[in-house]
């Protein structure tokens, strides 16, 4: 949240809700959102408890950057 936000109290309410076990459990439900929670499984309920985090994919080697940018521009333009 920016230091000069006009509605800090409202932003904190929204942040606290989004980080609540109820909201994170709902977010973890594959029929609703399906993302892994930021909370430990012990704080979640339902199917979100069994949901595992996605496996990470390693980044490409930096030497590929020029080739990727060239192909991107060719496909999608400037």
Domain boundaries, the chain: 8-76
Q: Which residues of the chain have pLDDT under 70?
A: 46-56, 78
Q: Is 0.85 topped by the overall pTM? A: no
Provide the 10 A C-beta neighbour count for residue 48: 24
* Strand locations in the chain (E): none
Q: pLDDT, tens digit, for every residue of 31-47?
A: 888 787 888 877 777 65
Predicted pLDDT of residue 14 = 94
41, 49 Cβ separation under 8 angstroms: yes
């Amino acid at each position: 949240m920016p230091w000069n936000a006009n509605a800090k109290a409202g932003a904190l309410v929204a942040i606290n809700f989004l980080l609540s076990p109820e909201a994170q459990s709902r977010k973890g439900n594959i029929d609703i959102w399906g993302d892994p929670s930021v909370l430990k499984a012990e704080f979640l309920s339902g199917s979100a408890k069994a949901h595992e985090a996605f496996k990470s994919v390693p980044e490409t080697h930096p030497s590929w950057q020029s080739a990727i940018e060239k192909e991107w521009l060719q496909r999608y333009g400037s």
